[in-house]
Chain A
Amino acid sequence: MSAETWRKILVPIAFIVAVLAVWEWLVWVYDLPDFRMASPSDLLPKFWQFRELFLVKSWETLWRTVAGLGLAVIFGTALGMIMGFSKIAREGLYPLLVGFNAIPKATVVPIVALIFVGQHDFNTILIAFMISFFPIAVSVSIGLSTLEPEYRDILRSLGASNFTIFWKIALPKTLPEFFGALKVAVTLAFIGTNLMEIVSPHGRGLGDLFDSGRISADYPLMFAVLFALAALGIFLFYIVVFLERIFAGWAERTPGQ
């Protein structure tokens, strides 16, 4: 490996270690008890103690987040396409969409839990979906509606159909915006899942493990859950980055070009 690759790996690790060390040191200096502030050294035993629960609950959180995000991608892209191609749909739907997005989803959780009482997986996926489709719909619609007319004309002057124009030009041209939105949406969907798991407890997901830590005043467990959530979030984010490299790598330019 080259020196640069090493630097790229070692510098972030060094910073993470430094932050953890300062945290540990602060807890030690101020002599904070476990129930006020957990220290990083408390976390590993907790992970080990609840290792099976962590695996099971992480999986529950993960698959429901991905399911909600998947729905958001399908629905958001479809909505974005309608709004991108039809000016009337854009004018009509935009205020509605902005209004819906402005509602804090924490307030929607109890309502959803009441409407579909007992359908825990469905409820959680629904919230993850509701919170994350907005950026996708907006970015796809902007990507499509700002397509320069010359791009259309190049194909239209050859007699291409609207579908061909969409498939050959509009869709690939929108991909960088789409993946930008997907990076935001993946984090939002994750928030949505946890919101449901914590605000409307039903014994599933990492949110439930967090809640049981809260109830039993087990601070180290709560912090351990935070770390597990962060790890899952990073994992999902980099899957999106990986997909972006494959499908929209052309949009990335090295400096100087």
Chain B
Amino acid sequence: MTSQIELRAVTHAYKTAAGPLPVLDHLTLDMPKDTFTAVVGPSGCGKSTLTRLVSGLMRPNEGEVWLAGEKVTSPRPTVGMAFQNPVLLEWRTILQNVLLPLEIVKSKMSKAEGLERAKHLLELVGLAGFEDKRPSELSGGMRQRASLCRSLIHRPEVLILDEPFGALDAFTREDLWCTMHDLREEEPFTCLLITHDLRESVFLADQVIVLSGRPAHAQYVLNVDIPGNRTLDDLYTPKAVEMLAVLRHQIQVAQGRASTADEPLAEHAPAASAKEGMVQ
């Protein structure tokens, strides 16, 4: 498979009053086309920085970010983004909000096609009939659904999600996980998800990348091997529980609370594939 998103030895530091604050340290990642990658890691380890680098909103100090075989130097319209805050424009209706990217991106889509696509996406996420409502009339989960539609309206090749489900209650969150699977089934796209929720990462992703503590590098890569259409029940199989335990252990290692040497679950870890296991 060709890679859609590639990070090559990306190193980045923020300038602060107390001197440079390194956040990423020779981070190397590879996300094949149309796959789903979740990135987990301790708080403040540079996950959001990663999304800004991939989307081209920021350029790394060192190293390179590649999207679909091109080096990223500025934002590009083949990317869709959604954040923890749905940032819907309150003066627009839900439909107008979803259509916003089409006003910026020069798309091959005609106005009528765009409108049809917006309505279709809204229906897919369960917001049919809410097209003409204002964001203030919707619940948090509904707003996040509308935000997802907006990030997909211009048929991006890459979708970047920065903890979009983080502020939602557990049941709404699980609902939206299933919506994500529906959306990907409808049309494939490469997805990069930043999250704190290990269950979320295992349920949604094809590969889960654990970042080390700051400055972050890829500490561990887990290939999630759940074939076929996933349902929430798949999270309660022994295999999934084992994967979650491994991820949890890796997070603790990243936080400096455990070392890889005393890994208690080592013998239970999923069979290592060529790519899987410790990186660096």
Q: A residues near B, CB below 8 A?
A: 148, 150-151, 153-160, 164, 168-169, 172-173, 175, 248, 250-251, 253, 257
Known: A251-B90, A257-B136, A257-B137. A153 touches B57 (CB 8 A): yes
Q: B residues near A, CB below 8 A?
A: 52, 55-57, 74-77, 79, 81, 83, 85, 87, 89-91, 100-101, 103-105, 134, 136-137, 150, 154, 160
A54 to B90, CA, bound (A): 45
Closest B residue to A252 using CB positions? B136
- Residue numbers in A under 8 Å from B104 (CB-CB): 155, 158-160, 164, 168
Least CB distance from B91 to A in Å reads 4
Least CB distance from B21 to A in Å reads 18
A248 to B56, CA, bound (A): 33
Majority DSSP secondary structure for residues of B touching A: loop
A160 to B55, CA, bound (A): 13
Q: A155-B100, A155-B104, A250-B91 are in contact. List 6 more A-B contacts (CB 8 A).
A: A150-B87, A153-B52, A153-B83, A157-B75, A157-B160, A168-B104
- Residue numbers in B under 8 Å from A154 (CB-CB): 81, 83, 87, 100, 150
Is B90 within 8 A of A168, CB to CB? no
Is B87 within 8 A of A148, CB to CB? yes
- Residue numbers in A under 8 Å from B150 (CB-CB): 154
Is A157 within 8 A of B57, CB to CB? yes
Residue among B76, B103, B134 making CB contact with A168, cutoff 8 Å: B103
A20 to B91, CA, bound (A): 43
- Residue numbers in A under 8 Å from B74 (CB-CB): 159
Is B85 within 8 A of A172, CB to CB? no
Least CB distance from B88 to A in Å reads 9
Is A253 within 8 A of B76, CB to CB? no
Least CB distance from B57 to A in Å reads 6
A248 to B85, CA, bound (A): 22
Is B55 within 8 A of A253, CB to CB? no
- Residue numbers in B under 8 Å from A158 (CB-CB): 75, 77, 79, 101, 104-105, 154
Is A159 within 8 A of B105, CB to CB? yes
Q: List 19 A-B contacts (CB under 8 A).
A: A148-B87, A150-B87, A154-B81, A154-B87, A154-B100, A155-B100, A157-B75, A158-B75, A158-B79, A158-B101, A164-B104, A172-B91, A175-B91, A248-B91, A250-B90, A250-B91, A250-B134, A251-B90, A257-B137
Closest A residue to B137 using CB positions? A257
A245 to B87, CA, bound (A): 23
A257 to B137, CA, bound (A): 6
Least CB distance from A96 to B in Å reads 27
Closest B residue to A164 using CB positions? B104
Known: A169-B89, A250-B90, A253-B136. A156 touches B75 (CB 8 A): yes
- Residue numbers in B under 8 Å from A160 (CB-CB): 104
Closest B residue to A161 using CB positions? B104
Least CB distance from B262 to A in Å reads 41
- Residue numbers in B under 8 Å from A253 (CB-CB): 136
A61 to B259, CA, bound (A): 80
Closest A residue to B93 using CB positions? A250
Is B55 within 8 A of A151, CB to CB? no
- Residue numbers in B under 8 Å from A153 (CB-CB): 52, 55, 57, 81, 83
Residue among B55, B91, B134 making CB contact with A157, cutoff 8 Å: B55
Least CB distance from B218 to A in Å reads 23
**Which of A154, A175, A248 is the most central at the interface, judged by chain B CB atoms within 10 Å of its CB?**
A154
A70 to B182, CA, bound (A): 53
A150 to B75, CA, bound (A): 14
A160 to B74, CA, bound (A): 11
A206 to B52, CA, bound (A): 60
- Residue numbers in B under 8 Å from A168 (CB-CB): 89, 100, 103-104
A130 to B78, CA, bound (A): 49
Least CB distance from A3 to B in Å reads 27
A173 to B52, CA, bound (A): 24
A248 to B89, CA, bound (A): 12
- Residue numbers in B under 8 Å from A172 (CB-CB): 89, 91
Is B87 within 8 A of A157, CB to CB? no
- Residue numbers in B under 8 Å from A159 (CB-CB): 74-77, 104-105
Least CB distance from B95 to A in Å reads 14
